[in-house]
Amino acid sequence: MAPDDLRSLAEHWLADDPDPATRAELTRLLDGLPGTEAELRDRFAGPLTFGTAGLRGRLRAGPNGMNLAVVTRAAAGLVAWLAEQGGEGPLVIGYDARHGSREFAERTARVATGAGREALLLPGTLPTPVLAYTVRALDAVAGVMVTASHNPPQDNGYKVYLGRGLGGPAGDGAQIVPPADAGIEAAIRAVGPLAAVPLGEPGTLVEDKIIEGYARSAAGVLSEGGPRDLAIAYTPMHGVGGSTLAAAFAAAGFPPLAVVAEQAEPDPEFPTVAFPNPEEPGAMDLLLALAEARGADLAIANDPDADRCAVAVPRPGGGWRPLRGDELGVLLGDHLIRRGVPGTYATTIVSSQLLGRLCAARNVPYAETLTGFKWIVRAAEELAFGYEEALGYCVAPSLVRDKDGITAALTVAELAAGLKAEGRTLADRLDELAAEFGVHATDQLSVRVDDLAEIGAAMRRARTAPPRTLLGAPVATTDDDVNNVLTFRTASARAVIRPSGTEPKLKAYLEVVEPVAGSDVTAARERAADALVTLRREIAAALGV
């Protein structure tokens, strides 16, 4: 694009931008030309794509960012698409505490009412699972959640849920899937000048009793009368899950939680963590310190929008061990199977193979899907449980047809309290599963890039020259070109490689299965850990990273 064309494109955008703050931001960049040309080119390289469940990007002016202009256009396109589908009912809108979230939610409501659609706005900053619950509870046509989940502070996003028959037989209240995403994106592109988009009233606040109903219903996921004696340390990680989770735990009969004071209140800057994701190194340090100081039985973290749940357990010799997503996933699945919860148990192609082997041994229906909860919750109409290794768990599909870090936290607390009453721990139950099925040790090789072309180059290298052996055993390769997933598998190891759907990352999901000789689970874990180190090195070499 020639410099004059770039300037013309930016000036055209500027004239249509409804937000004085981003207009001033873009004006400064225009005034700074030619020194700001690279920055302008990045912002006008193309629009944010309506991908995994909606939009996500940096808060900044221009089409390649999250701002009021982009949100107005997205809302107008979504409302137009809903009308084209003949969808009836209100649009429910929620938002977290990130920069811009409330403004984006309120603009969405006004675009909906301006188009003649009833808009229901959640009464304050609330978790994503509450929005997903409300879509089903109010029989809404769709829902919008303004959040970037666990992304850095400079990001925001726009997730869309479909309801009232638009989500498919198993997808009412679930995130969008193709072809709805492409249809909504086409409708967004068809929106004309933003000045011509009618803005109506601010919408109606959802009654508090609906939000209170979520907490009561979440508590109702647990078995009545079970043990509740458990000391829990908790952090919402500067997010919006704290008060809702506390209400749900109180309704379930658990004692008050010890909460990390520095992270208890919502803060869009996430000042105590380098990256507000419980999976990231150091993110749970304050929680684990509190758990140690209080002598807790269990440590629980939500991510900022509380749709994910992370858990750590005490080590026998002192200190704490965070559970991997796959470990918590199989613990929850096993617990629900033992409780006799009927239906299909599901996970993804990149998660551990242990849940599938557990289901086969227990004669329970099992399904495997592509990554993402939009696929997991559609694995079966009668879904009992679904999880993905990235700390996402759906333990109550009839309540929330998405991952829900609050009901997951309740369920693992129920399991831990029951084990404590028997003089056992979550770690003991993991050892029992390992003795029965072998140690299934998982890890992830995650490569963050500045240039997305690096991801494509790494995938090409692995496809062109795949490894012939891994851990000394011959490799079978499966290449899913359509979904850009590459799998290397041996009798005892597996690596699934794919680009992230939400972040500029290339991910390789690694798993080693080590049989347990006799009852020596510890030795098997040590062998598996050593094998994972080698497997990680071999896959990194295949990718050239």
Give catalytic residue positions.
Answer: 149
CA atoms within 13 A on the CB side of 411: 28
| CA separation for the pair 446, 431 (Å, rounded) | 27
| CA separation for the pair 254, 493 (Å, rounded) | 40
Which residues, including other chains, have CB under 8 Å from residue 468's CB and lie 6 or more apart? Answer: 474, 475
CA distances (Å), origin 451, targets 41, 245, 454, 458, 503: 14, 38, 6, 12, 12
Write the burial class of residue 193 (CB in 10 Å: 0-12 exposed, 13-18 middle, 19+ buried): exposed
Provide the angle, in degrees to the nearest 10, between the axes of the packed helices 405-421 and 325-338: 70
- Do the Cβ atoms of 66 and 58 come closer than 8 Å? yes
Provide the angle, in degrees to the nearest 10, between the axes of the packed helices 242-252 and 208-219: 50
Whose structure tokens read 């225009």?
Answer: 30
**Collapsing DSSP states into helix, strand and coil, what is residue 122?**
coil
Biggest alpha carbon–alpha carbon distance for the chain: 74
Which residues, including other chains, have CB under 8 Å from residue 362's CB and lie 6 or more apart? Answer: 337
- One-letter amino acid identity for 58? R
| CA separation for the pair 312, 451 (Å, rounded) | 34
Strands 298-302, 320-322: parallel, antiparallel or unpaired by DSSP? Answer: unpaired
Closest CA to 293 of 267, 319, 328: 319
